Chains A and B, each alone.
Chain A
């Protein structure tokens, strides 16, 4: 018996050893099963590619927004006492000290990479699917999305990953901005005829239509010279276009004019209407990240949650988070232009009460309820730049309700910061950092900085969800692109006409007799044009690219030193360099 046991042990050991050393090469021969990565239907695979835009990438302040805005005079996220230190990752983006281990860079890179991957999967899936009437259109959309994510990755990081989606086990490649930009332009021009016109084939402005592609092509042509020669002192904007038919700027003018003359889009007279909770399908919006509060997917309220103070409460259940603001330099560009309808807009309640936010308000009606569910009373803050002492409702924490006046209205009181209850909520244009080169506020300074409430705060669900569609291309921006192209071609008068079209179409609220904005007189200078694009497109992920084109990116700014051209792109994240050898680190990092 003992003998037998020993032998059994030996045999078992032998088997175990064998089991451990065998199976090392597991190449499965697929006969008739459906592999996991091939079983999605084309619509689902394409929806995943679109969905990545709203999964942080273009809607969270800490992704593309951070890199396109916090690097410029339009925005910064300083350390505010106890908050937003976060190991210096936000400051670094504004102070131009980011390194390959910065978490904001890694997040952005990974999210854009996920978009590229999901687009490639969509192309593969659609290619493998059976014939259907809309197959060509779906394929065109998937390819356009691939180009879109790739373009943003090249713009920010100079390189982007690619793998041929139609070849099994194709090798991973790194595309380089200088050469890939022409390929992207060709790709999008090729698929353009297959895309639907907006509204056709069940499309809406959250999908890639012919019109979205035209806007995208204008954007790529406007920035092509930069992508081709990133560190140059000046850019050759008027070199021949990819198809040798005219110059880059001619192409920008061609595509923007197509959109402007299409009759499909029109400028809002109320500028802020573009960024309202119910901006779905509004006439100025060409391509958006479609957001809805539902259980199917997430959404993001960041672009207004970030600038709003914690004691600014749109409902008793909501608040801001006292984070981002604009620089004094950007505020200065608005000097003499505070009557511009895009600067600020007061809210009027349905009984005619205006919320002026200037200390004269006594109360507003409590008749407005949050849409879509929680039945809370809704306090509407004003839109645009919020400057100086702030006023608003007072939350009584014991009952979690707003303080009321004897006649049942919401009392408007002078506000103080939530995390420093004796500090007046005075949004000063000046930041006056203790150390001018470091964007760090002590707890006594957390009120500083002008806050743009450009996007409407959506209090429906929580502080982090929103129904606001985030515009990626809208007609206002198209006019800005065309004006810049005219300007670079030497047609400053046409550029000025486009800028004044934007200025004079927008009107102020009834409190100011719906006055339209004032036109500016020529001649248009580069500085004026740059300022004007800021007035139109602030906080829309446009500024960094414009700053590079206009030669403003290197200039010193509050808590930002004069920088080197190598900082025009970001480094490839260290974690990516550690994992693959296809990328070489960008110059200077």
Chain B
């Protein structure tokens, strides 16, 4: 973490601090061959797990078929890892982990005369999410013959494709979020002896998120434990973080 008061005058002060953390981990000495977690929800997805814990791989690594695209009929093409001409559970491969490799934050506080403005930005890179919600929504199955996601259709997928968890639903969870903005104005009211100061402000939380992630919120982690093993990085129908606006006042006595 680095912090600095860049400007410090009577009328103007500006301080900035940034922080960042990196994470790199690898499982070792797991006394079993492998453990699964991150159960996937939806029809035709019983006993399907997205996470694997295995020696030599990061916690929260993903385990699934690799999606390569669609053929001329819109059928899924998966990587035939075993090279036997068949696509089945043996072709699953381990993908990078849900855990972000780098988390960062940026905070800025400016005071100009009676105005004050503070801004907080957070973000992460290097992590992945399984968009289980999208997988479920692409299942064209209900009696109503419901729709699928626009992107799925426009990418040329055949909507009659069988349900299959694959890297098609594995997305980067990188994002930058304007997490908090606060603008205030302080009145100095000398006429009222019992009041030291009076500050009114507007603030917003979760104002803007820049991300390539197609789900609601790249910062989710739906609880999807399997046999007590923690799940990491599954997004299934999680209610997104709210965007909050506040108008407030601070009175100091």
By a beta-carbon cutoff of 8 Å, the part of chain A in contact with chain B is: 79-89, 91-92, 95, 97, 99, 101-103, 418-422, 434, 437-438, 440-445, 574-575, 577-579
Contacts and interface: CB of A to CB of B under 8 A. Distances in A.
Contacts of B141: 81-83, 419, 443
A390 to B, nearest CB: 17
Contacts of A420: 145
B160 A444 contact: yes
A95 B86 contact: yes
B242 to A, nearest CB: 32
A439 B140 CA distance: 19
Contacts of A419: 141-143
B34 to A, nearest CB: 7
Q: Which 9 A-B pairs have the closest CB atoms?
A: A82-B141, A578-B32, A443-B160, A87-B48, A442-B160, A85-B44, A103-B47, A85-B163, A86-B46
B101 interface: no
Nearest to B32: A578
A442 B143 contact: no
14 contacts: A80-B44, A81-B141, A82-B141, A83-B141, A87-B48, A91-B88, A92-B89, A101-B36, A419-B143, A437-B85, A438-B86, A445-B160, A574-B33, A578-B32
Interface of B: 31-34, 36, 43-49, 75, 85-90, 139-143, 145, 158-165
B163 A82 contact: yes
A573 to B, nearest CB: 11
A86 B145 contact: no
Nearest to B74: A442
Contacts of B85: 437
Given A419-B143, A420-B145, A578 B33 contact: yes
Nearest to A444: B160
Contacts of B34: 101, 574
A554 B22 CA distance: 53
Given A81-B160, A86-B48, A92-B88, 12 more contacts: A81-B44, A84-B44, A86-B44, A91-B88, A95-B88, A101-B34, A101-B36, A103-B47, A422-B145, A442-B158, A443-B141, A444-B160
A487 B90 CA distance: 41
A247 B101 CA distance: 69
A577 B75 CA distance: 38
Interface of A is mostly: mixed
B43 to A, nearest CB: 5
A99 B89 contact: yes
B89 A82 contact: no
Given A434-B75, A442-B162, A574-B33, A79 B44 contact: yes
Contacts of A84: 44
Contact of A87 (B31, B45, B158, B159): B45
Contacts of A79: 44, 162-163
B47 A86 contact: yes
A97 B32 contact: no
Nearest to B47: A103
Contacts of A444: 160
A422 B159 CA distance: 15
A99 B165 CA distance: 18
B86 A97 contact: yes
A102 B88 contact: no
Nearest to B84: A97
Greatest chain B CB density within 10 A among A79, A81, A579 is at A81
Given A418-B143, A442-B158, A87 B165 contact: yes
Contacts of A82: 43-44, 139-141, 162-163
B195 to A, nearest CB: 42
A92 B48 CA distance: 14
A442 B159 CA distance: 9
Nearest to B46: A86
A87 B89 contact: yes
Contacts of B47: 86-87, 89, 103
Nearest to A95: B88
B46 to A, nearest CB: 4
Contacts of B36: 101
Given A95-B88, A99-B89, A434-B75, A440 B162 contact: yes
A140 B46 CA distance: 40
A502 B76 CA distance: 49
B143 A421 contact: yes
B136 to A, nearest CB: 10
Contacts of B143: 418-419, 421
A418 B143 CA distance: 5
A85 B142 CA distance: 16
A85 B47 CA distance: 10
Contacts of A91: 88
Contacts of A442: 75, 158, 160-162
Contact of B88 (A80, A97, A422, A434): A97
A80 B44 CA distance: 8
Contacts of A103: 47
A420 B145 CA distance: 7
A85 B162 contact: yes
Instruction: Give the one of B34, B47, B87, B139 with max A CB within 10 A.
Output: B47
A85 B88 CA distance: 10
Nearest to A419: B141
A557 to B, nearest CB: 15
Nearest to B139: A82
A97 B86 CA distance: 10
B118 to A, nearest CB: 42
Contacts of A85: 44-45, 48, 162-164
A422 to B, nearest CB: 8
A440 B163 CA distance: 10
B152 to A, nearest CB: 13
A434 B73 CA distance: 11
Contact of A81 (B45, B90, B162): B162
Contacts of A579: 32
A266 B90 CA distance: 48
A579 B35 CA distance: 12
Interface centre among A101, A438, A443, A578 (most CB of B within 10 A): A443
B80 to A, nearest CB: 11
Contacts of B139: 82
Contacts of B160: 81, 442-445
Contacts of A421: 143, 145
A575 B33 CA distance: 8
Q: Interface centre among A87, A102, A421, A437, by most B CB within 10 Å?
A: A87
Nearest to A577: B33
B153 to A, nearest CB: 14
A348 B160 CA distance: 38
B70 to A, nearest CB: 13
